[in-house]
Amino acid sequence: MPLNLITVPCLTDNYAFLLHNDDTGETALIDAPESRPIKAELERQGWTLSDILITHHHHDHIDGVDDLRGAARVIGAAADAHRLPDLTEQVRDGDELTVCGEPCRVMDVYGHTIGHVAFYFPTSGILFSADSLMAMGCGRLFEGTPDQMWATMQRLRALPDNTLLCSGHEYTASNMRFALSIEPDNPHLIERNERIQAARAANIPTVPSVLSDEKQTNPFLRADELPLKRAVGMESATDVESFATIRSRKDNF
């Protein structure tokens, strides 16, 4: 059976995610911005955590870990272990885990931070990307370089189109406003913006999103496309230079 996936709103605009396998009874949590809403959802479902997967060290992704851990296995990047809650398992790029009865691949996604990892479940087609690739955006480069984040974008873009993208924040509408400021006549942006606005008006999360939508509309995944390069005045630039310009514009938008 496919895994059950629940998006849990936390804080003001964060998301945590719960995965559950009905056959094994296992439940995994990906990131823990705060414990209260996660505990409430676990109680509502009658689930007990078997695993906590941590993507990176920022407080709005780890503050609830110690209150939630119980007997759960706590998994995070070896490169980030010195600033994460105590880990029971340290992982590295390319490691293969079994979580909720399914294979889970660890992927380095440096850029937003150094030590940031994503967790990819190929059987269910789910990617937990946190603050690397986001719906209509990518994370600010607090620690990494444009080269690192562009490499991350290319790596994640190579995953199958039907991959479900579980990113860490409800930033989609503001990210879309930025994308439309660059390409106001792009029909794919206009159509997706209508869907985003309808969802937010109904207080429905825009996360998860589908990777095929991101490949078609997310400017940070499309920094190597000539129409977008033209739109930002970078027609003759390298792909990394184009990406860096788009990221800088978003920082100041």
Residue 126 identity (one-letter amino acid): I
The SS3 assignment for 10 reads strand
**DSSP letters spanning 99-119:** ETTEEEEEEE-TTSSTT-EEE
Question: Closest Cα partner for 158 from 203, 109, 206, 111?
Answer: 109
112 annotated as a binding-site residue: yes
58 annotated as a binding-site residue: yes
60 annotated as a binding-site residue: yes
DSSP-assigned letter for residue 86: P
188 annotated as a binding-site residue: no
Dist. CA 162–CA 160, nearest whole Å = 6
131 annotated as a binding-site residue: yes
> Per-residue b/e over 185-197, b at no fewer than 16 CB within 10 Å?
ebeebeebbeebe
Dist. CA 87–CA 73, nearest whole Å = 8
The SS3 assignment for 239 reads helix
Residues of each annotated binding site: 56, 58, 60-61, 112, 131, 169
Residue list for the binding site for Zn(2+): 56, 58, 60-61, 112, 131, 169
